[in-house]
Amino acid sequence: MSVLLQTSKCIFRKPFNNTFCKYVFLRKNSDVPKKFITFDEVVAQRRAEAMRSVVVQVNSDSSFNELYGYCSKYASIKDIHHYKNTGGEHFMVIEFASEDNLKDVLKSCSSHNKDHDVISVQSPFLWFRAAVGNKEKFADTGKKLAVKNGTEICNEDVLLEDILNCETVSDQIQLLYERTTLNDLSIRLRYIVARQLEMIFNSLYTNVKIQPFGSSVNGFGRMGCDLDLVLINSITEEMGAASRRLVFQEKRSARQLELAGALLELRVAGVARLTRILNARVPIVKYAHEYAGLHCDLCYNNSAAVHMSELLWQLGELCARSRALAVLVRRWAAATGLTQPHPGRWLTNFPLTLMVLFFLQRTGLLPSLNRLVSEAGKEDIRIAEENVNCTFLRDLNKLPADSYEQNDDDLQTLLFKFFEFYSQFDFQEKAISINEGKPIRKPNSLPLYIVNPLEQSLNVSRNVSYEECERLRLEVRNAAWHLESCLDGKKSDDWGILGLIEKKSSRGLKKLLRVGNSHRLVSMKDLFTDNDNEPSVEGIRSKMQKFVKTDKEVDTSVKEMKSEMSKEQKSGKIKFKNNQTASAVYRIRRDKII
């Protein structure tokens, strides 16, 4: 399965269950498998998949047989995937064999007509009503769920323990990547959320598209990342042709996103806690999607952002090592506090990813963007809104093989070189430009300058303060030093990437909890009972006594743990279950879900 993505030089194994793997076997016009497929082909497949899928809320995963039996009466089913949202509610993603199948199923759906505040709307988000009267018997077809709990984020303690037990630092990086990268079901779900909006908007507009972008589609996303969406007003050449003399009278408005916000708030099932940030450089509407368990940001007419995701995705395809490396670097930056969950005077994941790609260009693993532009043909021309030129080579099969993956370094070596490279980088005088693939002179005195690849007069790290840039310089040096000190072969508690990805504040505590030589981690959960809403210091102390030595160690650890917990609460992880929102009340009033 991994072969097609490897050159003879590449030592990075692409995991079997990788999200994009199945697309690699696409064939086009001939029987010769292509080494690379285009981003547009991946997006087209995902959109088509969403157009024949629904998400059905059920009572539990054991509703599978009944749901399968009921839906098979209307259409042929390809697969059913199960997941739970943050509130612990169960859902099944059903992919039917064709879009027509889905239309038949939607025709068979009913509306909930007991509440006068509800006006029914077609959507791929459904729920499965309990049977009335005698329960229909469905024969066991032998079919099984394609996946159970498919969007579950891996347990952090288990992950850290497994990382600790890896043979090499490269294995650690690879393991972190495989366990945390966005999986197939999470991507399906994101395209279905986009499809839900598209269905609503298409009942009002002539030709709009809702397109996911950012880390949900650029190949650098981790499980649980936010969903960036853009509402694109796609006018085809045909629609605007001068030969069509009858033209619609249309309403001009610079407030399209306001209406989108109102529609989301009033018409889209699952949308909660919506906020509008309309005076930003890129105005957005933020909301939580309760059924999908996602944080979403919707913007308007920003197709350059989609092309940016396309560019990042392409570079990730050219050098698969870049994805594992970027995942690690993003985790490290979050652990050191260089990136934060909210925007401010610090780095964010996007410029950080550009820094990784730039470093890989310097090591001969990736071509410069200018190279991709020089190889582009007529079919690659893309001009986004406000005339942003997004033209670069799309079909990577046309790229000469000597323009990428020109070194054999394993992930450990690359990671060390990454930190070393930025330890020595002249941030004061130089800017990072993936267009050039080499440092260029800074056009102004902002502390950190990372050229926006598609609008080169802009700096994507213009918000980063002098202090934060200094901290970056310090942290890359610390990280390089830490990795170098691991080279002696002795495996301590923060061996390899553990010393980079564990939050500093919890590192002391986690060390204490690793028991003896077995390196077994004691789960945080083991320290609490299910009823411990507000665990007492004494409670934690008595449970920890068997793992730690002195009272002082216990006190320090308890303090660290409480501070971590309060930070998590403040960071606003979605807790749908505890929110007494109107939609929750509405759901409780509905008939029983099976």
246 burial via Cβ count (<10 Å: 0-12, 13-18, 19+): exposed
Residue closer to ligand GTP (CB basis): 136 or 568: 568
By CB under 5 A, residue 214 contacts Mg ion: yes
By CB under 6 A, residue 309 contacts ligand GTP: yes
Per DSSP, 450 falls in state B
Among 215, 322, 336, 368, binds Mg ion (CB under 5 A): 215
User: Binding segment for ligand GTP among 86-94, 208-216, 362-370, 568-576 (CB under 6 A)?
Assistant: 208-216
Q: Shortest Cβ distance from residue 394 to ligand GTP (Å)?
A: 17
- Rounded distance, CA 388 to CA 455, Å? 7
410-469: which residues touch Mg ion (CB under 5 A)?
Answer: none
573 burial via Cβ count (<10 Å: 0-12, 13-18, 19+): exposed
Among 94, 163, 231, 305, binds ligand GTP (CB under 6 A): 305
By CB under 6 A, residue 308 contacts ligand GTP: yes
248-277: which residues touch ligand GTP (CB under 6 A)?
Answer: none
- Rounded distance, CA 94 to CA 401, Å? 40
Q: Which does 212 bind (CB under 5 to 8 A by kind): Mg ion, ligand GTP, none?
A: none
Q: Which does 494 bind (CB under 5 to 8 A by kind): Mg ion, ligand GTP, none?
A: none
Name the residue whose CB lies closest to ligand GTP: 214
Residue closer to ligand GTP (CB basis): 268 or 308: 308
Considering only CA atoms, which of 292, 444, 308, 287 is closest in space to residue 388?
Answer: 308
Q: Shortest Cβ distance from residue 221 to ligand GTP (Å)?
A: 6
User: Binding segment for ligand GTP among 28-36, 112-120, 164-172, 212-220 (CB under 6 A)?
Assistant: 212-220
By CB under 5 A, residue 228 contacts Mg ion: yes
By CB under 6 A, residue 460 contacts ligand GTP: yes
- Work out whether strand 53-58 and strand 90-96 pair parallel, antiparallel, or are unpaired: antiparallel
By CB under 6 A, residue 228 contacts ligand GTP: yes
Q: Which does 177 bind (CB under 5 to 8 A by kind): Mg ion, ligand GTP, none?
A: none
Considering only CA atoms, which of 284, 129, 112, 127 is closest in space to residue 213?
Answer: 284
By CB under 5 A, residue 212 contacts Mg ion: no
Q: Shortest Cβ distance from residue 119 to ligand GTP (Å)?
A: 33
User: Binding segment for ligand GTP among 172-180, 198-206, 346-354, 536-544 (CB under 6 A)?
Assistant: 346-354
Number of neighbours of residue 543 by Cβ within 10 angstroms: 16
Q: Which does 350 bind (CB under 5 to 8 A by kind): ligand GTP, Mg ion, none?
A: ligand GTP
By CB under 5 A, residue 226 contacts Mg ion: yes
Name the residue whose CB lies closest to Mg ion: 214
By CB under 6 A, residue 215 contacts ligand GTP: yes
Q: Which does 127 bind (CB under 5 to 8 A by kind): Mg ion, ligand GTP, none?
A: none
Length of the chain, in residues: 594
Residue closer to ligand GTP (CB basis): 53 or 452: 452
Contact criterion met (CB below 8 Å) for 208 and 67: no
Considering only the C-alpha atoms of the chain, give the largest distance between any 2 of them, rounded to a whole number of Å.
Answer: 86
Q: Which does 221 bind (CB under 5 to 8 A by kind): Mg ion, ligand GTP, none?
A: ligand GTP
Q: Shortest Cβ distance from residue 84 to ligand GTP (Å)?
A: 22
Angstrom CA distances, 162 to 141, 222, 293, 367, 497, stand at 38, 18, 27, 34, 12
User: Binding segment for Mg ion among 111-119, 213-221, 338-346, 423-431 (CB under 5 A)?
Assistant: 213-221
The torsion angles phi and psi of 285, rounded to 5 degrees, stand at -115, 125
User: Binding segment for ligand GTP among 14-22, 345-353, 371-379, 403-411 (CB under 6 A)?
Assistant: 345-353
Full 3-state SS string of 455-523: CCCCECCCCCCHHHHHHHHHHHHHHHHHHHHHCCCCCCCCCCCHHHHCCHHHHHHHHHHEEHHHCEECC
Per DSSP, 4 falls in state G
201 burial via Cβ count (<10 Å: 0-12, 13-18, 19+): buried
Among 24, 92, 166, 225, binds ligand GTP (CB under 6 A): 225
Q: Which does 230 bind (CB under 5 to 8 A by kind): ligand GTP, Mg ion, none?
A: none
Query: Residue 289 is encoded by which pair of tokens?
Result: 């999607």
509-528: which residues touch ligand GTP (CB under 6 A)?
Answer: none
Query: Residue 588 is encoded by which pair of tokens?
Result: 């409780």
User: Binding segment for ligand GTP among 91-99, 215-223, 385-393, 503-511 (CB under 6 A)?
Assistant: 215-223
By CB under 6 A, residue 435 contacts ligand GTP: no
By CB under 6 A, residue 349 contacts ligand GTP: yes
Residue closer to ligand GTP (CB basis): 18 or 353: 353
Q: Is the dihedral of CA 536, 539, 544, 548 positive or negative?
A: positive
By CB under 5 A, residue 405 contacts Mg ion: no
- Rounded distance, CA 449 to CA 428, Å? 9
Among 180, 361, 452, 506, binds ligand GTP (CB under 6 A): 452
Angstrom CA distances, 491 to 176, 197, 224, 280, 547, stand at 18, 50, 31, 48, 20
- Rounded distance, CA 455 to CA 386, Å? 11
Ramachandran region, residue 489 (left: φ > 0; alpha: ψ -120 to 50; beta: rest): left
By CB under 6 A, residue 437 contacts ligand GTP: no
Full 3-state SS string of 565-582: HHHHHHCCCCCHHHCCCH
Positions touching ligand GTP (CB under 6 A) are 213-215, 218, 221, 225-226, 228, 305, 308-309, 348-350, 452, 460
Positions touching Mg ion (CB under 5 A) are 214-215, 226, 228
